[in-house]
Chains A and B, each alone.
Chain A
Amino acid sequence: MSRAGVSWRAFGSWLLAISLLMGAPGVAAAHGPDPVLGGALFGQDQRVGFRWRSGSVPPPDIANAIRAAAADANASRASRAATFAFDAGGSSLIGYGAEATCGVNGIACFDRTAAPASFTMWLREEGRSFDWGKLKWCQMYDVPPNGCYDAETVALDELGHVEGLGHHVNFSDDSDYLDAVVQTFSRTKPRVGWDMHSFGRCDVATLQREYDVPTSSTLISTCLDLDTGLTLKPSATSVTFGKTISLTATLKIIDRDAYDRLGGNWLSQRVVKLQRRAAGSTTWSTIATMAHTGAAGTYAASTTVTASFEYRAVYSTPSGEGLNGDTSPTVKVTMSGCGTSICPQSQPTSER
């Protein structure tokens, strides 16, 4: 079960923050998939075309940064989240300078109330005065000064919001800042994370949950913590000596509401091992790495039966994915006789 599962989805980031202050039990202290914003999601793999808002066209350096951010989002989404592309006929407008739907604060904002039809996005203008001083976009300088904001990073943050991501909740020391580009506080040069140009793993985690993954082979974000289910089925449960049987395993993510669109997904191209033990033994031995059959989440291996054995499939918790390993229920294959073959004098009673 995802530690960030239901409670994160059920409450907005603002409420989460309130709960954190109140020390509410049952809510993740920090570090999990980004919360989900309200409003409708875009369609899976929906291509969302954007163009510059008339009268508020970004200067070339900022426009290039926004285009780059769109490419960053597309390249790092690792999910079926919407993609963004500049399109002169696009219905989504991105502006620079004049404020439309932004509040009074912040360096950029978005409006996704019209999703999935469109969105709007704004970046404040270079030189805007805030109480603390003047806004500097790094892209506006040949040598970006310390204290500038990277427009590509900020635009990627906004596009994450447009996809439906809320601000990542960091550990209190912000040691996990790089896990998400969708952050409450944007960092300025030269602080670590000031120029992130891809979604972080906890951004991706929510994108995967909300939009699903493109294929069963796609790696699941390590910011998730999903339980898997493994089954194993032999082609026969009783065979004569020397016969070859095939064993077929299936691996999928457990279907839980908290897993959203990932629940019940097949998992392909993972490492599933086949183990066996002689009846009565407590020691399992790995006899094969099961091959992915080509069918989603399906793995197979063959073995020659020389005695009665119990078999199981094992999917060990991977280090590079947010999945918990699982072991299939045991299946027993009995050697029912010698058939036409010559039986050995003695049958093994345990694995060597």
Chain B
Amino acid sequence: MVETRWIRRIGPGVATLGTLALVAATTLGASGRSWSPPPCAGPPIAPSAADRADATAWYREDPILLAGALDGIRVTLGLAEQDRPRSMDLDAEAFAAGPFGDTVLVGTDDGRLSRLALVDLRAGCAWPIATSRDVIRRATIDPDGRTVYEFRVDRTTRSDLGVWQRALSGRGAPTKVLDALEPDTRFGRTFITAFTWSLDGGLLAVRSCGEVACRVRVLDPATGRHRVLADPGLGDLVGLTGDRIIVRGACRGLPCPVVSVPLRGGTRVVLDRAAGLATMTTLVDGTARVVLETGPGGRSLRASSLDGRATEPVGTAPDGRRLVPSDGRGGALALPPGWIAFGVEGRLPLDGAGFTRVRDLTGGRTVDLAEVPR
């Protein structure tokens, strides 16, 4: 692992330039209007989970193509109440993660160096977080807003270098929290490794997916211990709580089974054998729900407790939209507990929050994202 703590080593003045370079150097074949956030003042701040209730941030990732080949990643991001989202054109190997309150973590790799920055959408600025000569493939911030977790691969061999954590503040050296995954022919080579926090924020799921099947390591950051779910019959993650993980079957498309797996042993429950898109949320009373598309045409919605014992219909998606899944496929948004979102094809729209509809599972009302009471 090759590490550069450039914020500390080269000082805040150069760090500012680095922040600008993050975007300026990576405006690829785009409209030329890529947003270059100015540097934020002071140390980086990501709101803790307790301070995220009023957050309205959202983002979406899209490829920038040049003659049919990937030339960059455009991250469109904004706040629900803002009409005009902003776009950041990044390198071809780039990602966004979050939102963490009204901040979004952005990573980009120019082929020589990976950079992480935390974008504060409300303040309209960004903090440089880290650089690495290894490739930072994905990253996330813990619910306390203090620690960054990164998954890295070797720049030359693309071999797995494990999961690392670092303080958001930049203090201290990064430390490895999960070793590289051992190769397993049942899963094939790893296509993507991604992070998901449990709804209560106590566990971090690290899923490493082959072409269709995924291995999930569930890390307890408090103890450093982790459990492994390695079943080639299981695929992508829907979400998790402190005691159950919700995963899909190893499918290449939809419909696909949604399965509830107890983390500490016990009987798996198939929540739906042929579900469409799915998401998870916590109701205001603290209970978790899986919401999924089901039934003929896959357009009926059903909410289910994680053990599958309690289910109830929650209508259909409005206006031909589809459920926005919670697995971070190309975008995410901040929502209060108990709310689910709908977008065209299950995606957040490029042109702002006004086109995203959201529904309160408890009250059943459906409104525009900007109208959600915070």
List residues of chain A with CB under 8 Å of any chain B CB.
12-18, 21, 37-40, 58-62, 96-114, 117, 120, 125-134, 140, 157-158, 161, 167, 184-186
Q: 5 closest pairs, A vs B, by CB? A: A59-B68, A38-B274, A113-B298, A14-B249, A17-B233
Q: Confirm or deny: B243 has a beta carbon within 8 angstroms of a beta carbon on chain A.
A: no
| Nearest CB of B to A105, in Å | 4
Please report the C-alpha to C-alpha distance between residue A133 and residue B11 in the assembled complex, in whole angstroms: 33
Task: Give the nearest-CB partner of A119 in chain B.
Answer: B253
CB-CB under 8 A from B293, the residues of chain A are: 113
* Contact yes or no, B255 A14, CB < 8 A: no
Q: Confirm or deny: B329 has a beta carbon within 8 angstroms of a beta carbon on chain A.
A: yes
Please report the C-alpha to C-alpha distance between residue A112 and residue B298 in the assembled complex, in whole angstroms: 9
Question: Given A140-B68, A185-B188, are A117 and B255 also a contact pair (CB < 8 Å)?
Answer: no
* Contact yes or no, B212 A105, CB < 8 A: yes
Please report the C-alpha to C-alpha distance between residue A105 and residue B187 in the assembled complex, in whole angstroms: 12
Between-chain CB contacts (< 8 Å), 16 pairs: A14-B235, A14-B256, A18-B231, A37-B274, A60-B68, A99-B329, A101-B277, A103-B327, A105-B214, A107-B211, A112-B254, A113-B255, A129-B137, A131-B208, A184-B211, A185-B210
List residues of chain B with CB under 8 Å of any chain A CB.
62-63, 65, 67-71, 92-93, 137, 153, 158, 160, 188-194, 208-214, 231-236, 248-257, 259, 273-274, 276-277, 293, 296-299, 322, 327-330, 345-347
* Contact yes or no, A105 B68, CB < 8 A: no
* Contact yes or no, A106 B191, CB < 8 A: yes
Question: Given A12-B249, A39-B274, A114-B298, are A21 and B232 also a contact pair (CB < 8 Å)?
Answer: yes
Task: Give the nearest-CB partner of A105 in chain B.
Answer: B209
Task: Give the nearest-CB partner of A174 in chain B.
Answer: B185
| Nearest CB of B to A125, in Å | 5
* Contact yes or no, A38 B273, CB < 8 A: yes
Please report the C-alpha to C-alpha distance between residue A4 and residue B21 in the assembled complex, in whole angstroms: 59
Question: Contact partner of A113 among B68, B93, B297, B328, CB < 8 A?
Answer: B297
Question: Given A104-B236, A132-B191, are A99 and B330 also a contact pair (CB < 8 Å)?
Answer: yes
Decide if the interface of chain A is mainly helix, strand, loop or mixed: loop
Question: Given A21-B233, A39-B298, A127-B69, are A104 and B257 also a contact pair (CB < 8 Å)?
Answer: no
* Contact yes or no, B191 A101, CB < 8 A: no
* Contact yes or no, B249 A13, CB < 8 A: yes
Question: Given A17-B250, A21-B233, A37-B255, are A167 and B212 also a contact pair (CB < 8 Å)?
Answer: yes
Task: Give the nearest-CB partner of B91 in chain A.
Answer: A129
* Contact yes or no, B255 A39, CB < 8 A: yes
Question: Given A184-B211, A186-B211, are A108 and B232 also a contact pair (CB < 8 Å)?
Answer: no
Taking A14-B257, A127-B71 as given, write out 7 further A-B residue pairs in contact, using a Cβ cutoff of 8 Å, ordered by the A residue number.
A101-B322, A102-B253, A104-B209, A104-B329, A125-B63, A126-B69, A161-B253
Please report the C-alpha to C-alpha distance between residue A205 and residue B110 in the assembled complex, in whole angstroms: 48
CB-CB under 8 A from B194, the residues of chain A are: 104
Please report the C-alpha to C-alpha distance between residue A105 and residue B191 in the assembled complex, in whole angstroms: 6
Please report the C-alpha to C-alpha distance between residue A109 and residue B256 in the assembled complex, in whole angstroms: 12
Please report the C-alpha to C-alpha distance between residue A127 and residue B28 in the assembled complex, in whole angstroms: 14
Please report the C-alpha to C-alpha distance between residue A61 and residue B233 in the assembled complex, in whole angstroms: 34
Question: Contact partner of B213 among A108, A128, A157, A184, CB < 8 A?
Answer: A184
* Contact yes or no, B211 A132, CB < 8 A: no
Question: Contact partner of B250 among A14, A39, A114, A134, CB < 8 A?
Answer: A14
CB-CB under 8 A from A109, the residues of chain B are: 252-253
* Contact yes or no, A125 B250, CB < 8 A: no
CB-CB under 8 A from B298, the residues of chain A are: 39, 113-114
* Contact yes or no, B253 A112, CB < 8 A: yes
* Contact yes or no, B232 A17, CB < 8 A: yes
Please report the C-alpha to C-alpha distance between residue A12 and residue B68 in the assembled complex, in whole angstroms: 35
* Contact yes or no, B236 A100, CB < 8 A: no
* Contact yes or no, B297 A127, CB < 8 A: no
Interface centre among A59, A97, A101, A120 (most CB of B within 10 A): A101
Interface centre among A62, A120, A127, A158 (most CB of B within 10 A): A127
| Nearest CB of A to B298, in Å | 3
Please report the C-alpha to C-alpha distance between residue A16 and residue B233 in the assembled complex, in whole angstroms: 8
| Nearest CB of A to B51, in Å | 28
Interface centre among A37, A60, A110, A161 (most CB of B within 10 A): A37
* Contact yes or no, A129 B253, CB < 8 A: no
* Contact yes or no, A103 B189, CB < 8 A: no
Please report the C-alpha to C-alpha distance between residue A132 and residue B137 in the assembled complex, in whole angstroms: 11
* Contact yes or no, A98 B63, CB < 8 A: yes
Please report the C-alpha to C-alpha distance between residue A37 and residue B194 in the assembled complex, in whole angstroms: 26
* Contact yes or no, A101 B233, CB < 8 A: no
Question: Given A103-B329, A105-B236, are A126 and B70 also a contact pair (CB < 8 Å)?
Answer: yes
Task: Give the nearest-CB partner of B137 in chain A.
Answer: A131
* Contact yes or no, B68 A62, CB < 8 A: yes
Question: Contact partner of B191 among A12, A130, A140, CB < 8 A?
Answer: A130
Interface centre among B92, B253, B277 (most CB of A within 10 A): B253
CB-CB under 8 A from A132, the residues of chain B are: 158, 189-191
| Nearest CB of B to A47, in Å | 20
CB-CB under 8 A from B189, the residues of chain A are: 131-132
| Nearest CB of A to B332, in Å | 12
CB-CB under 8 A from A106, the residues of chain B are: 191, 209, 211-212, 252
* Contact yes or no, B233 A113, CB < 8 A: no
Please report the C-alpha to C-alpha distance between residue A308 and residue B194 in the assembled complex, in whole angstroms: 80
* Contact yes or no, A110 B328, CB < 8 A: no
* Contact yes or no, B212 A101, CB < 8 A: no
CB-CB under 8 A from A126, the residues of chain B are: 68-70
CB-CB under 8 A from B236, the residues of chain A are: 103-105
